[in-house]
Amino acid sequence: MVKFFVIVVLGVWTSLCGAQISLKIDGMHCIACTVAVKKALNSVEGVQHTRVNFAQQLAVVSADDTVSLNALREAVAKTGYRATVLP
């Protein structure tokens, strides 16, 4: 019963959040960098949630289908960093 509930909840979460896009972020050197990248990604229309990990140089963006990869890369570039979409 618990496994079924977890699967249903995860399925609902995935459908609510749309696609998950992983980005390698080059140039982050500190926690403040992480905050700047997160703020920039969250400002893109259609982005619902963002996780940024300084140690892994990684950002995971949950967004609806209207978000373009170029918009995400440009938002990161405006903060002085470089984003590469991971497969």
CATH of the domain at 60: 3.30.70.100
Q: pLDDT (tens digit, 9 = 90+) per residue, 14-27?
A: 445 579 999 999 99
Please give the mean pLDDT across all residues of the chain. 86
Separation CA 12–CA 5 (nearest Å) = 11
| Structural domain total, the chain | 1
Give the gyration radius of the chain's Cα atoms: 14
Q: How confident is the model at residue 37 (pLDDT cuts 50, 70, 90)?
A: very high
Domain of 51, in residue numbers: 2-85
In this prediction the pTM is 0.78
Cβ atoms of 63 and 14 within 8 Å: the answer is no
